[in-house]
Amino acid sequence: MAQQPSFQIQSLLEKLSNPDADFRFMSLNDLHGFLSTNANPLNADPGLSSRVVDGVIKALDDANGEVQNLAVKCLGPLVLKVKDTQIPPILDRLAQLALSSSDISIPSTALRTVISNLPRPLSVTNANATAVPPGAAQQQQLAAAAALAISRNLVPKLLTMLSPHTQKGTNIDSVDVLIEVLRCFGNVLSGAEVEQFQVKVMGILENDRSTSVVKKRAVTALSLLCVYSPDILLSSYISHLIESFKIEGTSPQRIRLYVSVTGALARAIPDRFGPYLQILAPFILALVNGKDLEDQELGDEPDMEQDEVKEAALAALEAFQSMCPGEMRRFTEEVLAAGIRFLKYDPNYADTAEGDEDMDDADEEEEDGFDGDDFEEDGNFSDDDDISWKVRRCAAKLLSTIIRTRAGDLLEDGTLYRDVAPVLVDRFSEREENVRLEILATANVLVKKTGEITASLVPAVPQVPSKKRRRERSDASAIDFMMEERTATPVQVTGSAASLASLVPRLSKALAKNLKGKNTSLSTKQSSITLLLSIVDVLHGGLQDVLPSFIDPIIDATKGGSAFLSGSSHTTGSTALGGVSGAGTATSATSSSLRIEVLKLVGRICAEHDSSVIEPYLKDLVPAVVAAIKERFYKISSQALTTSAEIIKLLTAELTKLGGSKYLNQLYDAIYDKISSSETDLEVRERAIYGMGILLSRTSNSTIVISREKLQAGLDILLERLRNETTRITAARAIDLVAKNAKTTSDLRADWVSDVVTELGAQLRKANRSLRGASLDGLKSIISNEVGRKLLTPAARSDLVGVLTPLLTLNDLHLLGPALVIMRLLIETKEVPVTKPIVDAVCSLVKTHQGSGHTLDNVVALVNAIGTVDEEGRNNLMNGLLKDVGVLGETAVVAKVIGNLLVSGGGKEGGLSVGVDDFVTEINTASDDHRKCLALMVLGEAGLKMGPAFPIGPDVFLAQFQAKSEDVPIAAAVALGLAGAGSVERYLPVIMQRLQANHPKDQYLLLHSLKEIIQHSNTKTADIRPYAKQMWASLFAIAKNDDSKAVGAECVGRLTIIDPCSFLPELQKHLNSPDSSVRGMVISAIRYTFTDTLASYDDLLRPIVVDFLTVMVEDKEFENRRLALTALNSAAHNKPHLIMPHLEKLLPLVYRESVIRPELVREVQMGPFKHKVDDGLEVRKSAYETLYALLETSFSGINPVDFYARVVAGLEDEHDIRVLCNLMLTKLTVLARDETVARVDEISERFRATLGFKPKENAVKQELEKHAELVRSTLRASVAVNRECGATLAGDNPAGRGKKWAAYWEWVRGVFGAEVRGLEMEEAGGTGGLGMGTAGAGVEVFAY
C-alpha cells in the first residue's frame, strides 16, 4: 500500500539533514512536486506544515548552491499551502535572514518569490460587491493575511534593508524586494509607508556610493512609489525635483539621474505627471538645446558624461511625447529641433555628405568599396569610447514618437517633410547598425502615417484592402489579395503624399546605397526593402523614375542570388520597427525573410506601376520569380506565387505590347508543377491553384499565348483539385474566375462545364458554409456567362435547379442572393420550367421576408423573369401569392412582388387571372383594412413599373385619405407616391395642389407621397426638376407642423441632392432662421445630403460643410443639437474625407456634448417614488455615436489622448453609453495601443465598478437583461484589452504601469472565469474576435 502524503513528506524532511548534498537536493525536488499538486496535505497537520517551513527556510542557508536555488523554488507553492497565520512568520524569518546574512541575494530572491506568489488583495468595496465563487473565499482570506503581514512584518525590516551600507551603499537585492512589494501590494501601503520608502529611495539615488545599477533600479522603485503616492506627497517630490534642476554646478551624473526619474514618472503616471511638464520640460529641453556643441570641434576628446545626459534627456522627451502628447504640444518646435540636431550628432566622424552633390560623392565611394562600417579611425580615438550612437538612436526614437502622436497637424503644415524627412534620408548611411535600423524604422513610420492621413482625405471608393494588413494576412486573405485587379492607373497625389513623392529620388538614392553595399547587414537591407514597400503602397507606385537605381539587387534577391542575400545578421537592439508592418523581423533578418520581403516588393511594384516601367526588366524578373516558385521552403514559394499573380495581371493587361507569351508559359509551367506535385505544401498548392485560375482567366480567347493543350490541362487540374477535399474551396474560387472571363466556347469544354456544375452542385449539400458560398459563386459565374450557359446540358440544368431550390430560404442570406440570381438566369434561358417547388419556395420567401435590400431586389428580379418567360409558371405564382401569402406577409414586400409580377406577366392580357381593375375593385369593396392596404400598394408598384401607361388616376388613391383606419391612408399615400414616380406629369401637379390646401392630415400624407416620388426620381422616367422649386417652397411652409417635420426634412434633403447648386445656398440661408423649427428641419435635411451622392456634389459641399456642422452643433435649442450630432454622424460615415481636415474644430464641439450636465438632471415624482430624469442623455448618446463613427472612419486625424478621455468618462455614464464605450475600447486597443497601455489602470477601475454592481433584489426583468448585457460587453472589452496589452504590461515594464489592471484581471478570471474563457474561445475561433467589425456590444449604433 502506498504511503500517505504526510508520511512521505515527513520522510523527505528527514533527508534534508543528510550530509550528502545530492540527498538534500532530491528531497527538496520531491517536496516541490508534492507542493505543486492540487492536494494540500499540510492543511490537516499544522505541525507538519511548520516543520516543512522550517526545513525549506533552513535549506536557504545550505552550502550547496543548487540546494539553495531549489529551496527558493519550493517557497512559491509552499506559501499557498500554509495557513494564513503562518505567512507573517515566514516573511519575518526571511527578512531577518536577509538582514543578518553577508550575502543577501538568496534571502532576497526568496522574499521576492514569496511576495509574487501570495494572492493579491482586493479592496473591501470590490471584494464585497460581487458574489464570491466557491473556493475564492479562502483565497481572499489568505490575501488579506498576506497584505497585513506585508505591512506589519516586512515593511519595517525592508526600511532597514534599504538603509545604505557604510562602505558599499545599498544592495541591489533590497531594492528589488521593494519593487516586488510595490508591484504586488502597492495598493495596501499607507501614505506614511509610501513616504518612508520614498525618503529611503531618494537617499539611495543621492548617495554617491550607490552604483549605477542600483540607482537604475531605484528609479524604477521611485516611479512605482509615485503610483501610490497621495497627491500632496507627489507634488512635494516633484517640487523637490524642480528645485534640484535649478541648482547650478550639479554633476552630470546627478542631472542624468534626475532626468531618468522624470521619464520614469511620465511612463508610470502620465495623467498625474502631465500637468507638471509645463515647468519640467524646459529643464530637459535645455540639456539638448545644442549650445554646448557650438564650441566643440572635430577631434576634441568626447565627453561621455555629457553624452549620457543627452541620451537620458532624449529618452525622457520621448516618454513625455508618448505618454503626455497634449501637454507637450507647446514644446513641439523645441522637441523637433532637439531630435533633428542629435540625429546628426556624430562628433568623432566628419560626415560631409549633405546635398545631392555629396550624395553623388558617396555613390562614387560605394563603387570603390566604401561601406558604412569601413571608415578610417582617428589615431587618438577608439570607437570603444564613443557612445554618441546611443544619443543618435534616442533622437531617432524621439522623432518616431513625434510622428506617431502628431502626424495629423505636422503633416498638414509640412513640418515633417520640410524639416525631418531630409535629415532622416541623409542619415540612412549611418555607420552604427542599431541607429541605422532605428532611422529606417522612423522613416517607415513617417511614410505609413502619410498614407493613413492621405487615405482619410479622399472619397471612399472601392479600393484594394488596407496594405497595413497585407503582410499580416491569413492564407484565405492572401488569396483575396491575388484576386484583386491591377491598380496601376494614374493616381493624383496631393498634400503630404506629394511631399513624399518629391522626396523619392533622394530617398531611393540613399536606399540604393544600402542595398548595394557589400558589407551591409541583412537587417538593413530588409528594413530598406520594407521602406520601399511602404512608399509603393502609399503613392500607388511612385518608383517609375528611380527603379533602375536598385532593380538589379532586387532581381538578384528574387532569384536567390548570394550577392544580395549575403551579409551579417544583426540581432541586437530594439527599434521602432516592431510597430510597423514588415519590420517585426528586421532586427533578426535572415536570407529567407529578406527574400520574402523582396518578393512582396516586386509584387507591389508590378501591381502599382505601368507596364512600360516594368517591361525592360521582365526578361530577368520572370525567371527570377519562377526560380522562387520552385523553392522548397514553402514561405518563399507561397509569396512567389502571390507575386506571380501580379506579373500575370501585368503581362495580360497589355499582352500584344509586352509580347508576354514566353513569360506566361514559364509561369504556367512553374504553377502547374506546384499544383501537380505530391510534395507541395497545402498553402503553396492553394495559391498555385488560384494562380492558375488567374492565368487561365486572363488569357481567355488567346490560344496564341497559351496552347490549347496547356489550356485543357489547366482546366482538368482545376477540376481534379475541386474533387479533392483539401483544396475544394480554392479550386471553386479559381473556377469562378475562369468561368467569369471565358469569352468563347473554345475557352471551355462542354464536358468540363457539366462536370464542374455537377461537382459544385454537390457541394451545396455540404455543411461547410464557406465551401457552399464559393460553389455558389462559381455556379453564378458559369450561368451568368453566355458561354457557360451554351455549354450547359439539359441534365446539368435540371440537377442544378434541384440543388438550388432548397437554398431559397431566409436561413442563410449570404447564400440566398447568389441562389436567386442563378435561378433567375436559368429561367431566363426558357429551358427550365417553373415547377411547383420553385413557386412554393418563392411564396415562402415573400411571406417571411421583411424590409428591403438586395435580397428583395433579387426576389423581384426572379419574379419578373418568371412573369416574362413562363405563362404557366406566372399563373401558378400569382395564385400562390394571392392565396397562400396575401396579407400574411409584410404588405410592402408582398405588394412589390405582386405588382412586378402583374406588370411583367401582362395582366389579364398576358393570361394572368387578375388585372389592375381587380385591385381597384378590391379597394372599393374590401372590408378588411389589410386587404385594402395590400391592393393599394400593389397598384402603386404597378404604376411605378408601368409609367405613363398606368390606367389609374390619382383620385383612386386620394379617395382613401379619408378612411377611418390608421393604416389605409398611409398605404394610399405611399402608393400615390409610387404611382406618381412613374407618371410625374400626371400625378405631381395634383399632389402639389392638394398640398397647398393647408389641411394638416393631408399635408402629412402628401409628404409621404412626395418622399416616394423624390426617392424614385431620375432624369429619364421621373424628372421632377421642373417642380423642384415649388416643392421646396411648400416644404418650408409646413415646417412648423411637428408631425410633418421629419418627413419634410427628408424630402428637403433629397431635393438638395437633385439640384445642389440651387438648394445648398438656400439651406445655408434657412440655417440662420430665427425659427427653431425651420433650423431643425434644415439640420435633419442635411443629414440626408451625405448619402448616395457623387463626387461632383462633394465639390459643392466641401467649402461649406464645416460651417454647416459648426453652426448646427452650436444651436441654442437642445433638440437641434441632437439632430446636428446625427448629421455629423452621417457625415463621418459617408463623407469622412470632407470633415477629416476640420476635426480639430469639430471634435471639441462633440466632446462638449458628451459631458454630463448636472443642471439637466431632474427628479420626477412618480407616486410614492422619486425618479431621476436626465434630459441630456439623448444628446450624449448622439455624441458618443458620432465619436464611434469617427473612430471607424477618421481616427488617423484624431488626437487619441483627448478621444480616450471621453471614452473612459463614458464608462461611468448610462447603460447604452457604457456599452458603446466598451465597443470603442475593443477597437482602440488596436488603433491606439500605447494610449491603452497608459490608461489600463484607469479603465480597470471603471470595469471593476461595472462588474461589481449588484442589481436590486426587486429589479424588473428588463433591468436584469440590460445589466447582463453590460456585464458581457465589459468582459468582452476586458478580454480585448488584456490580449493586446497584457504581454506589454507583464513584460519589461520598469515603470510598473498596469498593476491595477493585473489585479483586476486576476479578479475577473476568478469571479467570471467561465465567461472569460468562453469569450477567449470565441475570439480564437474567429466568431467574436476583435477586428474592426466586432459586434458583440449589443447596442445599436446609428449610421445615417
Residue pLDDT, tens place only, 1014-1053: 888 775 556 787 888 888 888 887 766 766 778 888 888 8
**Least reliable range by pLDDT among 593-597, 602-606, 1190-1194:** 1190-1194
Of 716, 436, 690, 461, residue with least CA distance to 586 = 436
**DSSP class of residue 950?**
-
pLDDT at residue 799 is higher than 70: yes
Distances (CA, A) of 605 to 358, 904, 972, 992: 29, 51, 60, 59
Pairing mode, strands 1161-1166 and 1169-1174:
antiparallel
Phi, psi at 1169, each rounded to 5°: -110, 155
Q: Determine the pLDDT at residue 301.
A: 66
Of 539, 584, 590, residue with least CA distance to 569 = 590
Give CA–CA dist 772/491, Å, rounded: 38
Give CA–CA dist 557/673, Å, rounded: 23
CA 743 to the chain's CA centroid: 41
Give CA–CA dist 1149/1079, Å, rounded: 18
Give CA–CA dist 902/931, Å, rounded: 17
**DSSP class of residue 1326?**
T
Contact 1304, 1247 (CB under 8 A): yes
Give CA–CA dist 837/843, Å, rounded: 10
Of 250, 390, 239, residue with least CA distance to 314 = 390
| Range among 199-208, 453-462, 931-940, 1246-1255 with highest mean pLDDT value | 931-940
Name every residue whose Cβ is closer than 8 Å to that of residue 686 and which is 6 or more positions away in sequence. 475, 479, 727, 730
Q: Determine the pLDDT at residue 307.
A: 87
**Span 132-155, mean pLDDT?**
72
Give CA–CA dist 1318/561, Å, rounded: 49
Grid look-up 566643440 returns 296
Percent of the chain at pLDDT > 70 equals 85
**Least reliable range by pLDDT among 293-302, 1279-1288, 1328-1337:** 1328-1337
Alpha helices in 811-966 (DSSP H): 813-828, 836-848, 854-869, 871-880, 891-904, 916-925, 929-946, 955-958
Strand partners, 1022: 1018
Grid look-up 550639479 returns 250
Contact 171, 104 (CB under 8 A): yes
- CB count in 10 Å sphere of residue 1053: 24
Rounding to the nearest 10 degrees, give the CA dihedral for residues 1247, 1251, 1257, 1258.
Answer: 50
> 1103 falls in which pLDDT band (50, 70, 90)?
confident
Grid look-up 512608399 returns 535
**Least reliable range by pLDDT among 422-436, 1054-1068, 1165-1179, 1290-1304:** 1290-1304
DSSP-derived secondary structure for 291-345: GGGTT--TTPPP-HHHHHHHHHHHHHHHHHHHH-TTTTGGGHHHHHHHHHHHHS-
Give pLDDT tens digits for 1305-1319. Answer: 888 888 888 888 888
**Averaged pLDDT of the chain:** 82
Q: Determine the pLDDT at residue 1290.
A: 63
Contact 174, 162 (CB under 8 A): yes
First CA to last CA across the chain, in angstroms? 76
Grid look-up 462633394 returns 1098
| Ramachandran class of 1166: left when φ > 0, alpha when ψ lies in -120 to 50, beta otherwise | beta
Name every residue whose Cβ is closer than 8 Å to that of residue 681 and which is 6 or more positions away in sequence. 634, 637, 638
Give CA–CA dist 163/171, Å, rounded: 9
Distances (CA, A) of 640 to 666, 704, 851: 14, 25, 47
Decide which of 1216 and 1102 is more confident.
Answer: 1216
Give CA–CA dist 775/770, Å, rounded: 9
Contact 808, 820 (CB under 8 A): yes
Name every residue whose Cβ is closer than 8 Å to that of residue 121 and which is 6 or more positions away in sequence. 143, 144, 146, 147, 185, 187, 188
Grid look-up 404557366 returns 872
Distances (CA, A) of 244 to 199, 227, 259, 678, 949: 15, 21, 11, 73, 92
> 1336 falls in which pLDDT band (50, 70, 90)?
very low
**DSSP class of residue 1173?**
E
> 791 falls in which pLDDT band (50, 70, 90)?
confident
Give CA–CA dist 928/239, Å, rounded: 83
The CA radius of gyration of the chain, in Å to the nearest whole number, is: 37
SS3 content of the chain, % helix, strand, coil (to 5): 75, 0, 25
Q: Determine the pLDDT at residue 466.
A: 37
Decide which of 508 and 706 is more confident.
Answer: 508
Grid look-up 434630459 returns 1175
Q: Determine the pLDDT at residue 601.
A: 94
Percent of the chain at pLDDT > 90 equals 24
Give pLDDT tens digits for 15-70. Answer: 888 888 888 889 888 888 878 877 777 776 778 888 888 888 888 888 888 988 98
Strand partners, 1173: 1162
Of 1222, 1328, 1236, residue with least CA distance to 1275 = 1222
**DSSP class of residue 275?**
G
Between helices 728-741 and 750-763, what is the axis angle to 10°? Answer: 140
Name every residue whose Cβ is closer than 8 Å to that of residue 1275 and which is 6 or more positions away in sequence. 1251, 1308, 1312, 1315, 1316, 1319
Grid look-up 494576412 returns 473
Alpha helices in 1071-1163 (DSSP H): 1076-1088, 1095-1101, 1105-1113, 1118-1134, 1136-1139, 1143-1153
Give pLDDT tens digits for 108-129. Answer: 999 988 888 888 765 433 444 4
Contact 1029, 1064 (CB under 8 A): no
CA angle 671, 675, 677 (to 5 degrees): 110
CA 421 to the chain's CA centroid: 27
Q: Is the dihedral of CA 407, 412, 417, 420 positive or negative?
A: negative
Of 497, 508, 320, residue with least CA distance to 405 = 320
Give pLDDT tens digits for 351-403. Answer: 544 444 444 444 444 444 434 444 334 444 445 567 888 999 999 999 999 99
Give CA–CA dist 913/881, Å, rounded: 12
pLDDT at residue 300 is higher than 70: no
- Indicate the pTM of the whole model: 0.79
Beta strands in 407-499 (DSSP E): none
Give CA–CA dist 380/435, Å, rounded: 24
> 1218 falls in which pLDDT band (50, 70, 90)?
very high
- The grid coordinates listed for 563 are 550577392
Length of the chain in residues, anyone? Answer: 1344
**Span 1184-1188, mean pLDDT?**
91
Give pLDDT tens digits for 1048-1084. Answer: 888 888 888 888 888 888 888 888 888 888 888 888 8
**DSSP class of residue 132?**
P
Of 157, 144, 149, 146, residue with least CA distance to 107 = 157
Give pLDDT tens digits for 1230-1245. Answer: 888 878 887 888 898 8
Give pLDDT tens digits for 806-856. Answer: 888 888 888 888 999 999 998 988 888 888 999 999 999 888 876 667 888
Name every residue whose Cβ is closer than 8 Å to that of residue 1067 and which is 6 or more positions away in sequence. 1052, 1056, 1082, 1085, 1086, 1108
| Ramachandran class of 474: left when φ > 0, alpha when ψ lies in -120 to 50, beta otherwise | beta
Q: Determine the pLDDT at residue 562.
A: 74
Give pLDDT tens digits for 869-887. Answer: 888 888 889 999 988 888 8
Name every residue whose Cβ is closer than 8 Å to that of residue 639 and which is 6 or more positions away in sequence. 596, 599, 600, 603, 628
